[in-house]
Amino acid sequence: MSNPVMRRMPLAALVAALPALPAGAITDDELSARADELRASAPAGFTVVVAPPFVVAGDESPAKVKARAEGTVAWAVEMLKKDFFAKDPAEIITVWLFKDAASYYGHAASIFGDTPDTPYGYYSETHKALVMNIATGGGTLVHEIVHPFMDANFPDAPPWLNEGLGSLYEQSEERGGHIAGKTNWRLAGLQKAIAEGGLPSFKKLTAMKTAAFYGAGSGLHYAQARYLCYYLQEKGLLVKLYHAARKGRAADPTGYKALGKVLKAKDMGAFQKKWEKWVGKLVFDG
């Protein structure tokens, strides 16, 4: 039964008041309780369902919200945990699926006080929320699901690997029971930059800290990191690279040494030329 005091609380106040959960696995009872709290206080027209370890809230039809929770959220969690992540996020994260741009921007402002700088969606560590304009498709949702799992399992991951892995699964499918990224819209810009000789070296890309990676040229940084991860995936090396980088992060915080070792590349400059030629032959069919 929902708490009548909670029912009268505005949603922004409810989000702020929700207690942090202790470290360790999130229980089914905790997920159910959080879902009940949100059902009591979410704006009219929202459906709330549990998709462990997340709670999903959306303002599309109840059937569509449930389908997205099962077909996208639960599927992505199962696939990602199979290859990469041993631990769930320590706190419950709510996946907000807003049906269109008006709902997305309006509710981001009213619930979180945010003005999104992307039309697609984002992960708010502060609010323990994935905030999505689901009208743009489920790709960004899968991308953003990667980030709270990275925070839980590889909290000091270098930006190139965090965003390379997330953006790899913007366009993904299941192959042989595992998640696999496909070519996507980032390819054209990357191929243009390669043709113009405008890419940073992999040593420079992997060494970028947060401000540099997300600063000027961030779109190209995302694309280069994505298609490096795509190459590793296609060569059967991505899972090995992730675990090697995580295990060796104290001595190799950028993951550059792990990358060279997994690739068996004695000359990373020569490898990059080989990779650039390989990328140049890729096709995105839309």
The Cα 87–Cα 275 span in angstroms is 33
The Cα 49–Cα 45 span in angstroms is 13
Q: Which residues of 129-151 are buried (b: 16+ CB within 10 A; e: fewer)?
A: bbbbbbbbebbbbbbbbbbbbbb
Strand ranges for the chain from DSSP E: 47-51, 54-58, 93-98, 121-124, 129-133, 172-175, 178-181
3-state SS, residue 124? strand
User: Residue 9 half-sphere exposure, CB side, CA atoms within 13 Å?
Assistant: 19
Specify the domain boundaries for CATH 3.30.2010.30 within the chain: 4-153
3-state SS, residue 97? strand
The pLDDT score that the predictor gives to residue 25 is: 79
From the CB of residue 50, how many other CB atoms can be counted at a distance below 10 Å?
Answer: 17
- 218-234 vs 159-168: helix axis angle to the nearest 10? 70
Q: Report yes or no: 35 and 48 within 8 Å, Cβ to Cβ.
A: yes
Structure tokens at 283: 């096709």
Q: Is the dihedral of CA 126, 128, 134, 136 positive or negative?
A: positive
The pLDDT score that the predictor gives to residue 24 is: 55
Q: What is the pTM of this model?
A: 0.89
The Cα 96–Cα 52 span in angstroms is 14
Across the chain, which has 286 residues, the per-10-residue mean pLDDT values are: 29 42 73 97 96 98 98 97 97 97 98 95 94 95 96 97 97 97 97 96 98 97 98 98 98 98 97 98 89
- Residue type present at position 175: R
For 159-211, give the DSSP string: HHHHHHHHHHTTSEEEETTEEEE---TTHHHHHHHHHTT-PPPHHHHHH--HH
Q: Report yes or no: 226 and 218 within 8 Å, Cβ to Cβ.
A: no
The arrangement of secondary structure in 4-153, i.e. its CATH architecture, is: 2-Layer Sandwich (3.30)
